[in-house]
Amino acid sequence: GTLAKIIDWDQGEDGLLGITTKGTEKFRLVELNKQEDGLNIGTIERIEREEDFKPIEHFNHLVVLLQAILDDVNIYSDDEKNFESASWISYRFAEILPLKIEDKQKCLEIDDPIIRLNFLEPLIKMIRESSQQ
């Protein structure tokens, strides 16, 4: 999973609370207990931040694709974008692509950005091909 920090919130006219969060650290669920009232209580182990480096040349086409997508959706400011980071790139694809929940979970579990990009590459190709039909 991912620990998150609340960075903004508002209460709608309907009384519902809307929150905006930012992921901060990855964790592994070590133990889970369900209380009588149905509340789940867990013990986690924080996972060290993975080593980061530039994406290898093989993935240049994915960098260009992500740049184009993010320019269209405009969800990250220029100072938040980090196209020099294989980790950042692979997590952004996992975040924005219409992947099955199992594939998103697999991306969280992979702790090497190059392996994650290798995992995502055929999924991205499949999504692009199906959207062109």
Per-residue pLDDT of the chain (133 residues; tens, 9 = 90+): 889 999 999 999 999 999 999 889 999 999 999 999 999 999 999 999 888 889 899 999 999 999 999 998 888 888 999 999 999 999 999 999 999 999 999 998 999 999 999 999 999 999 988 887 6
Helix axes 113-131, 86-96, angle to 10 degrees: 40
Q: Are 7 and 1 in contact (CB under 8 A)?
A: no
> How far does CA 20 lie from the centroid of its chain?
15
17-34 and 2-11 as β-strands: parallel, antiparallel, unpaired? antiparallel
What is the number of other CB atoms lying within 10 angstroms of the CB of residue 70? 17
Model pTM above 0.95: no
